[in-house]
């Protein structure tokens, strides 16, 4: 019987549970179950179905419990950031959680800054200003006299809510809490001044924990449901990007990372927060990482652009789309991937065409032209963010590691290398789950350190490398991109 770690990895569109086992050959992973994660539109809001997510986790645990060749050492949960569940005095959830794409926070930061200056909020947290940050969700609920918010006894972020459903223990995990913009970047604790501004106190949150700490063990109810024993649930890096970055197979610390998926997140690891006028002007964020590190990074729209276009396209698998993009004219049309027009349009393809028309760019006429426009614009946006990180960093960035689902996109990876001008290494695509498993292994004593685990991951996976090509053409395209978006360099 092999001892394995059970990772729950939930994204904004889908989830899966995974078994991870360390062998003499390295890390072996096996998907137990996959399931969709749907936004639920109702009564003018968008919700997450936390109970359906829990049910699928239970189904994964039940499937493993029935196997005689596997023994689960521990369980870890990672999810997207910012969203949360409100818990009543009786321990029950007061309603389904709002999704971060809910429109109720439009304009929320500006309303909050009427009471507390933007510079003060950023100076405390180092977190970039985005409408859906939990701080602004809280303030919106406060201003709207939301019944669940006013009645909440506790507030649990999504990974912590699922851990609570499994263990009965309430915690607030550090990495996911930092995405909320309520953690002081220097103390690494909840910031009382910000909580007070939204009518909360520290006792509204669970026990504050850091990656590697134990949340609790499976409740008798869950043991009966699954057929498992009192297995410990570990607080891994609850924010999926923090888990993914922990799995970057870098040989040294002189690297940048690009977590490529629905969102792209590009950044570096630092020991201390980078909070200054430049980082604030650029709206760069300082999120919590493992081993007491800070992830200095920038959110970029990512493959959301293409995934939304694919909703209206038939036979739109990536091989077909990439071939059509390859045949299209280079640099014909460019967009700003993070323009507000692309946040959640009804028709993404039309939004791209409208943006091009409004900015005097040739309007894409074919599907291949649309895809090429998305890829090239993303690669050039990566260059812009990479250059800014270089200016903010206190160490060189000798390589860019692309992790997550987007690391499988050979075309985009090559164009990213062309744009940023440093070697790009792609993989692992399952970085989030690997990081989740890795932190469980560290907690169990099966591994010694994060650097040692990264070397093991490097030996366990096949990475693809890319070197810069067509440098002159890409440099000219970059200048066009900067001019299009009125960016001064």
Of 160, 240, 338, 448, catalytic:
240
Chain CA centroid to CA 443, Å: 22
Q: Please report the beta strands in 262-374, taking only residues with DSSP state E, as ranges in sequence order.
A: 264-270, 285-288, 294-300
In this prediction, residues 389-395 reach a mean pLDDT of: 94
Note the pTM of the prediction, 2 decimals.
0.90
Q: How far apart are CA 429 and CA 244, in angstroms?
A: 9
pLDDT over 70 at 489, yes or no: no
Q: Find out if CATH 3.30.420.40 is the number for domain 248-427+448-489.
A: yes
Token pair of 344 as six digits: 């959640």
Please count the other Cβ atoms lying within 10 Å of the Cβ belonging to residue 59: 15
Q: How far apart are CA 183 and CA 173, in angstroms?
A: 11
Q: E strand or H helix at 386, and its extent?
A: helix 367-392
Phi, psi of 283 (to 5 degrees): 60, 45
Q: E strand or H helix at 81, and its extent?
A: none
**Per-residue confidence band for 486, with pLDDT thresholds at 50, 70 and 90:** confident
Per-state percent for the chain, helix, strand, coil, to nearest 5: 40, 25, 35
The candidate with the shortest Cα–Cα distance to 203, out of 112, 87, 288, is 87
Residue 147 pLDDT: 97
The candidate with the shortest Cα–Cα distance to 88, out of 178, 249, 176, 204, is 204
In this prediction, residues 216-230 reach a mean pLDDT of: 98
Name beta bridge partners: 171: 207
In this prediction, residues 225-238 reach a mean pLDDT of: 98
The candidate with the shortest Cα–Cα distance to 289, out of 233, 243, 234, 235, is 243
Q: E strand or H helix at 256, and its extent?
A: strand 256-260
Contact assessment for residue 413 and residue 375, using Cβ atoms and an 8 Å cutoff: no
Q: What confidence tens digit (pLDDT) does each residue in 60-102 have?
A: 999 999 999 999 999 999 999 999 999 999 999 999 999 998 9
Residue 61 pLDDT: 98
Q: Please report the beta strands in 137-238, taking only residues with DSSP state E, as ranges in sequence order.
A: 154-157, 171-173, 183-184, 189-190, 207-209, 213-217, 232-235
Q: What confidence tens digit (pLDDT) does each residue in 38-52 have?
A: 999 999 999 999 999
Contact assessment for residue 279 and residue 126, using Cβ atoms and an 8 Å cutoff: yes
Please count the other Cβ atoms lying within 10 Å of the Cβ belonging to residue 29: 18
Dihedral angle at the C-alpha atoms of 152, 58, 210, 136, nearest 10 degrees?
-40
pLDDT over 90 at 316, yes or no: no
Q: What confidence tens digit (pLDDT) does each residue in 325-353 have?
A: 999 999 999 999 999 999 889 999 999 99
Residue 488 pLDDT: 65
Name beta bridge partners: 415: none
Query: Is residue 240 among the annotated active site residues?
Result: yes
147: left (phi over 0), alpha (psi -120 to 50) or beta: alpha
In this prediction, residues 312-318 reach a mean pLDDT of: 87
Residue 185 pLDDT: 98
Q: Mean pLDDT in the chain?
A: 95
What are the domain boundaries of the chain? 2-241, 248-427+448-489
Residue 485 pLDDT: 79
pLDDT over 90 at 271, yes or no: yes
**Per-residue confidence band for 253, with pLDDT thresholds at 50, 70 and 90:** confident
Each residue of 285-303: b (16+ CB within 10 Å) or e? bbbbbbeebbbbbbbbbbb
The candidate with the shortest Cα–Cα distance to 20, out of 433, 335, 308, is 433
Contact assessment for residue 437 and residue 234, using Cβ atoms and an 8 Å cutoff: no
In this prediction, residues 242-255 reach a mean pLDDT of: 93
Cis status of the peptide bond prior to 428, with omega within 30 of 0: yes
Share of the chain above pLDDT 90, in %: 90
- Fold for domain 2-241? Nucleotidyltransferase; domain 5 (3.30.420)
Q: How far apart are CA 294 and CA 173, in angstroms?
A: 15
Residue 314 pLDDT: 82
Q: How far apart are CA 242 and CA 431, in angstroms?
A: 10
Q: What confidence tens digit (pLDDT) does each residue in 169-207 have?
A: 999 999 999 999 999 999 999 999 999 999 999 999 999
Residue 171 sits at the vertex; the CA angle it makes with 288 and 103, to the nearest 5 degrees, is: 70
In this prediction, residues 230-247 reach a mean pLDDT of: 97
Please count the other Cβ atoms lying within 10 Å of the Cβ belonging to residue 423: 15
Q: E strand or H helix at 27, and its extent?
A: strand 26-36
Residues with Cβ within 8 Å of 212's Cβ and at least 6 positions away in sequence, in order, are 234, 235, 236, 290, 439, 442, 443
Please count the other Cβ atoms lying within 10 Å of the Cβ belonging to residue 322: 18
Q: What confidence tens digit (pLDDT) does each residue in 275-308 have?
A: 999 999 999 999 999 998 999 999 899 999 999 9
**Per-residue confidence band for 446, with pLDDT thresholds at 50, 70 and 90:** confident
Contact assessment for residue 413 and residue 407, using Cβ atoms and an 8 Å cutoff: yes
In this prediction, residues 112-117 reach a mean pLDDT of: 97
Q: How far apart are CA 285 and CA 195, in angstroms?
A: 19
**Per-residue confidence band for 455, with pLDDT thresholds at 50, 70 and 90:** confident
User: Cα dist. 73→54, 96, 238, 431 in Å?
Assistant: 20, 31, 18, 20
Residue 79 pLDDT: 98
The candidate with the shortest Cα–Cα distance to 86, out of 39, 149, 172, 137, is 149
């Amino acid at each position: 019987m092999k001892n394995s770690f059970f990772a729950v990895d939930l994204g904004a569109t889908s989830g899966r549970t995974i078994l991870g086992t360390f062998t003499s050959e390295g890390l072996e992973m096996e998907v137990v179950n996959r399931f969709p994660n749907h936004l639920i539109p109702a009564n003018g809001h968008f919700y997450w179905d936390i109970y359906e997510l829990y049910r699928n986790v239970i189904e994964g645990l039940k499937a493993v419990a029935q196997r005689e060749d596997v023994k689960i050492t521990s369980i870890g949960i990672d999810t997207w950031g910012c969203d949360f569940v409100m818990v009543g005095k009786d321990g029950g959830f007061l309603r389904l959680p709002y999704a971060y794409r809910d429109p109720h926070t439009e304009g929320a930061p500006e309303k909050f800054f009427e009471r507390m200056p933007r510079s003060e909020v950023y100076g405390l947290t180092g977190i970039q200003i985005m409408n859906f940050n939990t701080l602004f969700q809280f303030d919106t609920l406060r201003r709207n006299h939301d019944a669940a918010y006013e009645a909440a006894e506790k507030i649990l972020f999504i990974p912590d809510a699922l851990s609570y459903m499994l263990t009965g223990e309430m915690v607030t995990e550090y990495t996911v809490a930092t995405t909320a913009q309520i953690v002081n970047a220097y103390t690494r604790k909840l910031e009382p001044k910000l909580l007070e501004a939204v009518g909360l106190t520290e006792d509204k949150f669970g026990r504050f924990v850091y990656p590697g700490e134990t949340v609790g063990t499976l409740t008798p109810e869950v043991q009966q449901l699954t057929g498992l024993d009192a297995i410990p649930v570990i607080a891994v890096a609850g924010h999926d990007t923090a888990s993914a970055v922990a799995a970057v197979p870098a040989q040294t610390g002189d690297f940048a990372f690009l977590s490529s998926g629905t969102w792209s997140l590009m950044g570096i690891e630092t020991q201390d927060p980078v909070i200054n006028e430049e980082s604030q002007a650029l709206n760069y964020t300082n999120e919590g990482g493992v081993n007491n590190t800070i992830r200095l990074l920038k959110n970029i729209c990512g493959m959301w652009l293409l995934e939304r276009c694919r909703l209206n396209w038939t036979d739109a698998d990536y091989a077909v789309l990439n071939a059509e993009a390859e045949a299209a004219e280079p640099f014909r049309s460019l967009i700003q991937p993070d323009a507000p027009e692309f946040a959640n349009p009804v028709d993404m393809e039309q939004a791209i065409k409208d943006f091009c028309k409004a900015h005097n760019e040739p309007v894409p006429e074919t599907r291949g032209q649309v895809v090429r426009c998305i890829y090239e614009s993303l690669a050039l946006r990566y260059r812009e963010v990479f250059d800014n990180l270089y200016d903010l960093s206190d160490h060189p960035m000798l390589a860019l590691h692309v992790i997550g689902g987007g690391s499988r996109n050979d075309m985009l990876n090559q164009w990213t290398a062309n744009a940023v001008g440093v070697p790009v290494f792609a993989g692992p695509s399952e970085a989030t789950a690997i990081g989740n498993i890795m932190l469980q292994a560290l907690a169990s004593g099966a591994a010694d350190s994060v650097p040692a685990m990264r070397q093991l991951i490097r030996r366990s996976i096949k990475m693809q490398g890319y070197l810069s090509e067509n440098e002159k053409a890409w440099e000219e395209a970059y200048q066009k991109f900067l001019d299009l978006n009125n960016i001064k360099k």
